[in-house]
């Protein structure tokens, strides 16, 4: 009976690993799993992290998509761009990150968006996006660990 239980737990762990978050999570984040079109994780203080793949990105470069995301957040959503930069993922693929400040429902929040254009064999490339959102105080405290975790993202 004990061997059966161990095998069952191993099977569950193997299955869970197949659909796990495509990055090493920062401390205190708990993975919620794949929800909708992306993987999500949260903390007890309501920081939220999501990684998703957008397959309609066609031919744009990573700079094109970073500028597009920036314009959408600033011009359409009213976010304030704080800073932007480059980040290499686990395999050395160059991506771009954008740090925003926003007022959502009367509360100041921080938003970090990172993007990588991913090639696919015999298909059009796709866009992989990581998003981190939290209340400003929580965001500031967790930002260094999340930025470090972006270097572990994989396709």
Q: Tell me if 68 is assigned to some domain.
A: yes
Q: Tell me if 2 is assigned to some domain.
A: no
Q: Tell me if 109 is assigned to some domain.
A: yes
What is the CATH number for 145?
3.40.1000.10
Q: How many angstroms separate the Cα of 95 from the Cα of each of 15, 55, 71, 92?
A: 29, 17, 17, 9
Q: Tell me if 13 is assigned to some domain.
A: no
Q: Tell me if 11 is assigned to some domain.
A: no
User: According to the model, what pLDDT value does residue 57 have?
Assistant: 55
114 C-beta neighbours (distance < 10 Å), count: 27
User: According to the model, what pLDDT value does residue 124 have?
Assistant: 79
Structural domain containing residue 115: 20-150
pTM beyond 0.85: the answer is: no
User: According to the model, what pLDDT value does residue 81 have?
Assistant: 98
Domain count along the chain: 1
Q: Tell me if 9 is assigned to some domain.
A: no
Cα 148 to the center of its chain, rounded Å: 12
Q: Tell how strand 38-42 and strand 48-54 pair up.
A: antiparallel
Which is nearest to 115 in space by CA: 105, 103, 130, 134?
130
Q: Tell me if 73 is assigned to some domain.
A: yes
DSSP character for 22? S
From first to last of the 155 residues of the chain, give the pLDDT tens digit.
Answer: 343 333 333 333 333 334 577 899 999 999 998 877 789 999 999 999 999 988 765 678 999 999 999 999 999 999 999 999 999 999 999 999 999 999 988 999 999 999 999 887 777 788 899 999 999 999 999 999 999 999 999 87
Backbone angles phi, psi at 48, to 5 degrees: -125, 140
Q: Tell me if 5 is assigned to some domain.
A: no
């Amino acid at each position: 009976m004990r061997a059966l239980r161990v095998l069952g737990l191993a099977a569950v762990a193997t299955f869970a690993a197949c659909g796990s978050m495509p990055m090493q999570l920062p401390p205190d984040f708990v993975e919620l799993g794949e929800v909708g079109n992306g993987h999500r994780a949260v903390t007890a203080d309501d920081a939220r992290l999501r990684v998703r793949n957008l397959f309609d990105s066609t031919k744009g470069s990573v700079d094109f998509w970073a500028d597009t995301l920036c314009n959408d957040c600033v011009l359409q959503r009213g976010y304030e761009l704080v800073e932007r930069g480059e980040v290499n993922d686990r395999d050395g693929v160059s991506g771009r990150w954008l740090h925003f400040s926003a007022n959502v429902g009367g509360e100041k929040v921080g938003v970090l968006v990172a993007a990588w254009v991913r090639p696919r064999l015999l298909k059009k490339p796709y866009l992989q996006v990581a998003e981190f959102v939290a209340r400003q105080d929580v965001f500031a405290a967790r930002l260094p660990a999340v930025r470090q975790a972006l270097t572990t993202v994989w396709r």
